[in-house]
Amino acid sequence: MHDCDRLSDCPFFSDRLANMPGTSEVIKRKYCRGAYETCARRMVARSGGMQAVPADLFPDQRDQLAALVR
């Protein structure tokens, strides 16, 4: 597997869940270093719209994409 191309500038990867290291590592392994194509944050960033990626959007919150990507 390859790492996400947005890894270096993703605030989520930079310890968004510092107080929950176990959960953080599971999410990072799944989305940042695994199936990053399914990451909601990456999808918003790559949508081509003017919408900024909300700071509180988690990689697994794809249910919020319709409201964010227009």
Candidates 61, 62, 4, 58; CA nearest to 33 is: 4
Q: Please report the pLDDT score of residue 16 as a whole number.
A: 67
pLDDT for position 1: 66
Averaged pLDDT, groups of 10, the chain, 70 residues long: 83 74 85 92 84 86 86
Q: Where are the domains of the chain?
A: 7-68
Q: How crowded is residue 16: how many other Cβ atoms within 10 Å of its Cβ? A: 19
The model's pTM is 0.80
